[in-house]
Amino acid sequence: MPERTQDTRRSLLSAASDLLAQGGPAHVTLRAVGAAADVSRTAPYRHFRDKDDLLSAVAGENLTHLKHEMQRAIAEPSTTSTPLFRACLAYVRVAWDYPNHYRLEFGGDYTFTPSPVLEETAADFSTYFNEVVIEAQRTKTLIAADARDVGPLLWVILHGLAMSNHLISNRACESETGYDAEDLPRVLDLALRSLAPK
């Protein structure tokens, strides 16, 4: 792909990501993205088949970012926390930093047809998440049950924590009943203890 074409695609994806962050999927249209990226009206249609294709590209980039943040967190040297704890903390923090992106990928409140590229990216993330689970079991940080059972249980915990911040931001509950960023490590530690070997 020529450099100029790549730059245009990058600008479109950046604009789409910003619009998604500001107002959710309803704010992301090919026309709005083209205007925000300051490109011609036809440029978005040369790079993306339709809105679903564009949202798939944004979601795929965010899933890749989520994986990289978990990997970075695991690689950090620490004597006070486990690699699993750091990976889980990174997961929830990315979800809290990009709530509309997270809801697009995992919330289920906006239905769109994922592109084959997004499906591959999602499969890659699922494989990575399973590897994190298996490694945590190997180091006796997680219970030694079937990883196909333990993985979804861990994800349910993380998803619940990820979505709890959205309840606050959407004012669906009083802030005193939810979590603040400072509470997250404490609450996550408590949650992970439920899946730790006895």
Reported as a single tens digit per residue, the pLDDT across 86-125 is 999 999 999 999 999 999 999 888 889 999 999 999 999 9
Q: What is the dihedral of CA 184, 21, 116, 12, to 10 degrees?
A: -140
- Percentage above 90 pLDDT, the chain: 80
Asked whether 169 and 180 are in contact (CB, 8 A), the reply is no
For tokens 């979800």, the residue is 95
* Averaged pLDDT for residues 24-35: 95
Residues 125, 146: Cα–Cα separation, whole Å: 19
Residues 157, 194: Cα–Cα separation, whole Å: 10
For the beta carbon of residue 125, count every other beta carbon within 10 angstroms. 17
